[in-house]
Structure 1
Amino acid sequence: MPPRTPPDDAHPYLRAASAGIRHHTRSLSPPDAAPPRRADRLHLDVLHAHLTALLHLLDHLAETTRPPYPTAGRHLATAHTRLWQATSEVHSAFHLLPADTAAEEAEASACHPERLPEGPPVLTICQRHLTAGHVLRRKTTPTDLRPHTTACAR
């Protein structure tokens, strides 16, 4: 049996991502009397990218967990579906927010491959959302996507 990885050494990238989200959440609500910052389109685009990365991770975990532990795999698959619903709402909110200014909109939509070492981004938020939706729809039914109530299995 392989040695167990101590919790401090397990999954360092996930821990770092979680710490980054906690830090970002705190920075959105400054402790002084300043008003909280509102979400903008760039913010929601980055959040959508994070959620779709989590979708891929949950999908992988559900697929690899289901054969040896079917019940746990079903719960992970359900979490994947619910995360998709959250991702879809963030995508909708993105399109409902106005661009701050025409200059910012032009800057955000302009292609600047010289700014990225690997070239321009491959996916826009809509392409990313369609890709994630295609993967989800291969594995779920419309019934799976309906609202639900949660009951603890313990």
Structure 2
Amino acid sequence: MTSRTHPGDAHPYLRAASAGIRHHIRGARTRPPVVDRVHLDVLHAHLTALHQLLDHLAETARPPCPAAGRNLAVARTRLWQATAAVHDAFHLLPTATQDAAAECHPERLPEGPPVLTICQRHLAAGHITRRTTTPTDLNRPRTTACVR
């Protein structure tokens, strides 16, 4: 016998992540938001995780439901564009030492490269994008519409 659960209970971690983002937005409304490199790094990590999830969902949905798979693939592409914009914004913010070159070249850091920098994470997510998306797709305006 199978028990019927609430749809939101099937994905507790995704629900918790969404709740965390809503909490952050509410907090930003009550006090002036501070945009710093740490903030954008965490946001970039969240976006790349969502990108990986959408990649998996698009590939899983494509065989049984091609139209749904295509729409998820478009969502994955748009999320990649948002991730790239956050990565670019990260590099435009000032650093504590104003040595932006060290951020892009972790091998030059005296303590050695960090385990995972925003650039390394961005490159890893870029491999998914290059595997599944053409440059034309990345520049194409959104053309899907609700069919209902």
TM-score by length of 1: 0.80
Any idea what SS the aligned residue of 2:25 has? helix
Matched with 1:13 is 13
- The aligned counterpart of 1:115 is none
Contact 2:8 2:15 in 1 (8 A): no
The answer for unaligned runs of 5 or more in structure 1 is 113-119
Residue 7 (structure 2) pairs with residue 41 (structure 1): no
Aligned to 2:74, the other structure's residue is in SS state: helix
Shift of 1:143: 1.0
Structure 2 Cα separation of the partners of residues 42 and 29 of structure 1: 19
* Alpha-carbon shift at residue 28 of structure 1 (Å): 1.5
Which residue of 122, 127, 134 maps to 1:141?
A: 134
Supply the RMSD in Å over aligned alpha carbons.
2.6
SS at the partner of 1:5? coil
Alpha-carbon distance in structure 2 between the residues aligned to 1:2 and 1:15? 23
Give the match's secondary structure for 1:144: helix
Q: For the residues of structure 2 that align with 1:153 and 1:89, how far apart are their CA atoms?
A: 30
Aligned residues between the structures: 139
Stretches (4+) displaced over 2 A: 1-5, 108-112, 149-154
Structure 2 gaps of 5+ residues are: none
Distance 1:121 1:15, change over 3 A: farther
Larger fraction in helix: 2
